[in-house]
A and B are shown apart, each in its own frame.
Chain A
Amino acid sequence: MTPLIFPFRFELLWSDALVWLLVLTAIGFAAYTRNHPHLRAPWARVARSASGMAAATVLAAFVLVGLLDSVHYRAALPPQGGKTAYATEVRSLLDRVLEPLRLTREKTYSAPLATHLYAKETVQGPDGSETRVFPRLRHGGAHLKDPQADWGRDVALKAFRGLAFGLLFWFVAVLGVCAVLARSPDSSIESTWREAWAGRTAVPWRAVFCAFGLMCVLIGPVVALAPYYHVLGTDKVGQDVLYQALKSIRTGLVIGTLATLVMLPFALVLGLMAGYFKGWIDDVIQYVYTTLSSIPGVLLIAAAVLMMQVYIENHAELFPTTEIRADIRLLALCVILGVTSWTGLCRLLRGEALKLREMEYIQAAHAFGVSHWRIMMRHITPNVMHIVMIALVMDFSGLVLAEAVLSYVGVGVDPSMISFGTMINSARLEMAREPMVWWSLAAAFMFMLTLVLAANLFADAVRDAFDPRLIVGGGRP
């Protein structure tokens, strides 16, 4: 009996575990929310905001890329002597999808959609003479016989074909959504379609369709061109910039979500305790966060990251692959970012708890002898969740940007890990180069801008939906 040989082995990195835990929590929370009208109401208001839903559509695409990049595995090597060995490289599903991009390495810089390298090289002619020319790329536009003549037509054709496929895909997807929406017997796909486009549906599907359409129009041509060209060029070591940008998404998302996750327990527990118990507990907690917020964050982060680096180097046996090493460093960064950023939310929650503890329903609970713990869990926590929710979504974009800044300074993620920060860091030299290499920075800039803008717009919609002052005719008269 031959042992069952899998062509791959799943590798659960620490950050993957946390990401998926987060996904599960989010699903659980959504299910819980569904059954609680007071929790559902504000999310229903988010769903009615056009800008919020459009932003959510864009965010969903980013999250999809991030999640694909969070399933890691090690491929099996060709069996040798009956034993199955697995590659030392840890790859993700996204790497698998983007295989053509990852493997098509050039020698060095090449401009977006170029067919020739961006640097001159000395080439030996058949007659032995040496000339300095821009050599053809190994992969980009390699299928063209005469790049000078065919390039423009080929790119336009492929882009157009991609555009057509994008639009077709968009149309099918929109039709699919309409079909799902038209489940009830008294409506047809056609009527739903008309309703949605006229903006008469409760959820602004028109905005969602438009955002999705824009994405399809942009992504279609890119997908069509990517197998033949480097759509966003290549970097110094010839790696595809589009691939790098897509890989950076996970790093940004992980930092944005996990750091908030680290921060949340500190802020919630300490903030509520300070506000609820007052007295010396309040004093201690206030001193801690006042002290912490007076230390420059970058200093603290730099110290922690450097210590982590030393630890990893001294205990190399614990971290067998470079990916695991980079992952641990990413986690350490999340933790330290979280530890340094809880003070703001903590202060907010303290103030809110100070207000809530005097509310009469809390007094009534005291009159029943309800324990402090239960009062905090049952009466105070649910009433501050809107603040937590707003803070989480608002902090997310700030943390993504913080990662970029820290990696630029050199105390961010592992240099081997692709992130917006490392891309921008390398762009420092490229911008100073003559002729200038602009596409690396531009790609990082565009992706980050889109991600953070979408997150901010979504955060705005969430804040508006949860802010009781903006709700007309709800709550207290």
Chain B
Amino acid sequence: MNKPLLKVVGLTTLIRGGSMPMRAVDGISFEIAAGETFALVGESGCGKSMTALSIMRLLPEAGEIAGGAVELAGEDLLVLPESRMRDVRGRRVAMIFQEPGLSLNPVMTVGAQIAEAVTRHTALTGAAVEARVLELLDAVRMPDARRRMTEYPFQMSGGMKQRVMIAIALACDPELLIADEPTTALDVTVQAQVLDLLRELQRSRGMAMLLITHDLGVVAQMAQQVAVMYAGEIIETAAVNAFFAGPAHPYSRKLFESLPDRAGRGKTLAAIRGTVPALTRQFAGCRFAERCDSALAHCADTIPAWGAVRDGQRAKCHLYGSDDRGLRIEERTAESCDEVRSSILTPQSSILRIEDLQVHFPIRKGLLQRIKGQVKAVDGVSLSIAPGRTLGLVGESGCGKTTVGKGLLRLVPPTGGQVLFDGVDLLTLDRSALRDRRRHAQIIFQDPYASLNPRVRIGDALEEGMLALGIGGGEEERALRINALLVEVGLAPDVKGRYPHEFSGGQRQRIAIARALSVEPQLIVCDEPTSALDVSVQAQILNLLKRLQREKGLAYLFISHNMAVVEYMADELAVMYLGRIVERGTVAEVLHDPKHPYTRALLAAVPVADPKAERPVIRVDGDLPSPVNPPQGCHFHPRCGVALPCCGSEYPDDHNFSVSHATRCHLYG
């Protein structure tokens, strides 16, 4: 390998505040060769972003680089004066961030923002700048670049904003691009577009890239070298193929095992017990020791050294120490639990049937607030869920899947249709009659931080539903039930008196589950319950949901954009696009034999954690159209690669492939 472009040696970054400084980055070293993509993987809070910010010297006020060196082509960036550093930033090292919406100035046109970067670092002026901006926008494949130049960020979708960010980053042909979770905020189809673009740009420009991500699928697609970070340290480095062939460190292994997929259905996901240790404390041994299943006696008190695993793969673990070389952890297989449910669908026994549900939001304009249009968030959705089973509802953001969940619970007022719960239409009930039925269906939300009132104690939060619905008996009985609920979701009963801020995201989600369970519902709407959580915590929550379903015969409406999670959880699947269901069927039918072009594109766009995976390349262009003004005919036809002439004029009818599998597409008409 040639001389490294970026060499980080023993970088240590402290965050001050509180009594002890937090060692966000603790002595990490790595090298990136020119033209190489180096992926830094890890869960939230492990110090990935701090590493990137330290390299750029863009740390927040409280942050401080306490030691180490960052050499860019032999020049130590940490000793440069700030004025010289400004020349490095943007010209030699550029960075793109996770949230494109927050990285662009809302009151400047995107052309002006790109031009700013160009004029700062090059001698170009006047028309030459404009030409360069156009060239950059073309390079990031911005459609209609000349017009887009004069537009403001709010006129663009998330994917386009991220393209603009990339254009700004490329303005001066940097040698190194730092991409901090560049696609995390984007939908899968858009993510696929952006990742393609990044890969292509990198190849054509010979640029090195430091890719920071938590998604092993993205790593498999993009990187050549991988480093796994845990609690401020790099614990494993390897070439990408070696890493995916056999992760060495127990933590890396666990990360893989906790990924949900179809193969793991019916099995309990491997979850990492406990939580990431606080980085304020001093570590005497391996940081992962207390959560590690294969910990040795001396793991807790001896800091492990780097051990070579095989060609170039190294792990910071005692299992690969010099003295007991050759010792390998045996393959751990997740314990399997009995598949108790039959997979035969019995449509008669559905506990919830949604018929042609519509939720429209009026658009009001003018002085008198006249209704000038409708956002058809949900436009005629029909579903049914059997007791004890899980219906997965997938789709990209903005397709209306969350509104379905809220609409059926009447948390948003539905416009039309029927929601039959035990044969009673929930949509026609008055407030008090509805309240009597509230206990049968509950909801769990996405954001564990927003789903618990910060001013209400856990015990009171769990009691609220019982009080409001008048169940659970007297005060003592309720207290006993709260204890039982907490134990059921894996928390100690004495957390009752505490406030939500004392809990981690995963624990809060457990509490939210306990709250939903407190009124003994038959159906729980799970609205992206794990998308805000790390993989290892996600595994815990998914395991919990599965166990509760088994024990209590709960039915779930599982709303998610994450195919792997749905694949793991759901029995049936419905794919939503722009307020309508385009395909439904059992999980096997939909995922293995997708019929609708949108379903196929969606599946093809999901990054798979296997660098050798060969998958059909179906790329959809553009973004989700606005539900205010959906395209005529089939909503998907403007983005569809196989659209027929009739697609643009009429909406396709249902076409059945089996009792359960149906799609709405003219291809099968």
Chain A residues packing against B (C-beta within 8 Å)? 37-38, 283, 359-361, 363-371, 374, 378-379, 382-383, 472-477
Contacts and interface: CB of A to CB of B under 8 A. Distances in A.
A38 B411 contact: no
Given A363-B406, A472-B17, A368 B468 contact: yes
A267 B484 CA distance: 42
Given A379-B456, A472-B62, A474-B501, A360 B447 contact: yes
Contacts of B469: 368-369
B453 A367 contact: no
B147 interface: no
Chain A CB count within 10 A is highest, among B446, B447, B453, B465, for: B453
Nearest to A382: B455
Contacts of A378: 453, 456, 464
B454 A383 contact: yes
A370 B18 contact: no
Nearest to B470: A369
Identify the 6 closest CB pairs spanning chains A and B, nearest first.
A369-B435, A368-B465, A382-B455, A360-B445, A360-B451, A369-B438
B451 A361 contact: yes
Chain B CB count within 10 A is highest, among A360, A363, A367, A473, for: A367
Contacts of B340: none
B651 interface: no
Nearest to B431: A369
A241 to B, nearest CB: 49
Interface in B409-445: 409, 411, 434-435, 438, 441-443, 445
A19 B453 CA distance: 34
A455 to B, nearest CB: 27
Contacts of B454: 38, 383, 475
Contact of A369 (B445, B452, B468, B515): B468
Contacts of B451: 360-361, 364
A110 B669 CA distance: 105
Contacts of A474: 501
Given A363-B443, A473-B17, A476-B449, A368 B519 contact: yes
Contacts of B515: 364
B512 interface: yes
Interface residues of B, number: 37
A370 B455 contact: no
B409 A367 contact: yes
A374 B468 contact: yes
Contacts of B62: 472
Given A370-B464, A475-B501, A38 B455 contact: yes
Given A367-B409, A369-B468, A477-B45, A379 B453 contact: yes
A475 B519 CA distance: 29
Nearest to B44: A477
A99 to B, nearest CB: 50
A355 to B, nearest CB: 11
B30 interface: no
Contact of B438 (A38, A359, A368, A382): A368
B447 A367 contact: no
Contacts of B411: 363, 366-367
B450 interface: yes
Given A37-B499, A359-B453, 13 more contacts: A361-B452, A363-B443, A364-B443, A365-B464, A366-B409, A366-B411, A367-B443, A368-B464, A369-B468, A374-B468, A379-B456, A473-B17, A477-B45
Contacts of A283: 369
16 contacts: A359-B450, A361-B450, A363-B445, A364-B443, A364-B445, A364-B451, A366-B409, A367-B441, A368-B464, A368-B468, A369-B434, A370-B464, A378-B453, A378-B456, A472-B62, A475-B454
A402 B521 CA distance: 57
Contacts of A360: 445-447, 450-451
Contacts of A366: 409, 411
A365 B447 CA distance: 15
Given A359-B450, A369-B438, A383 B455 contact: yes
A371 B468 contact: yes
Contacts of A371: 468
Contacts of A363: 406, 411, 443, 445
A370 B464 CA distance: 8
Contacts of A382: 453, 455-456
Chain B CB count within 10 A is highest, among A359, A369, A374, A475, for: A369
B468 A370 contact: yes
Given A370-B468, A473-B17, A361 B453 contact: yes
Chain A CB count within 10 A is highest, among B45, B446, B464, B512, for: B464
A361 B468 CA distance: 14
Contacts of A379: 453, 455-456
A369 B409 CA distance: 10
Nearest to B441: A367
Contacts of B464: 365, 368, 370, 378
Interface string B385-422: 00000000000000000000010010100000000000
A38 B499 contact: yes
Contacts of A369: 434-435, 438, 468-469
Contacts of B468: 365, 368-371, 374
Contacts of A365: 464, 468
A354 to B, nearest CB: 15
B442 A367 contact: yes
A378 B515 CA distance: 16
Interface string B451-486: 111111000010011001100000000000000000
A378 B454 CA distance: 11
Interface in B501-516: 501, 512, 515-516
A374 B409 CA distance: 19
B537 to A, nearest CB: 13
A472 B21 CA distance: 12
B512 A367 contact: no
A359 B446 CA distance: 11
B371 to A, nearest CB: 13
A157 to B, nearest CB: 52
B18 A473 contact: yes
A64 B62 CA distance: 41
B132 to A, nearest CB: 38
A476 B453 CA distance: 13
Nearest to B450: A360
Contacts of A476: 449
Contacts of A38: 454-455, 499, 501
Interface string B512-539: 1001100100000000000000000000
Contacts of A475: 454, 501
A476 B501 CA distance: 8
Nearest to A471: B17
Contacts of A473: 17-18
B66 to A, nearest CB: 18
Interface in B259-274: none
Nearest to A280: B369
Nearest to A476: B449
Nearest to B505: A477
Interface in B1-59: 17-18, 44-45
Chain A CB count within 10 A is highest, among B451, B452, B461, B468, for: B468
Nearest to B45: A477
B499 A383 contact: no
Contacts of B501: 38, 474-475
Contacts of A367: 409, 411, 438, 441-443
Given A379-B456, A473-B17, A364 B512 contact: yes
A368 B443 CA distance: 10
A361 B465 CA distance: 12
Nearest to B518: A368
B572 to A, nearest CB: 23
A204 B169 CA distance: 48
Contacts of B450: 359-361
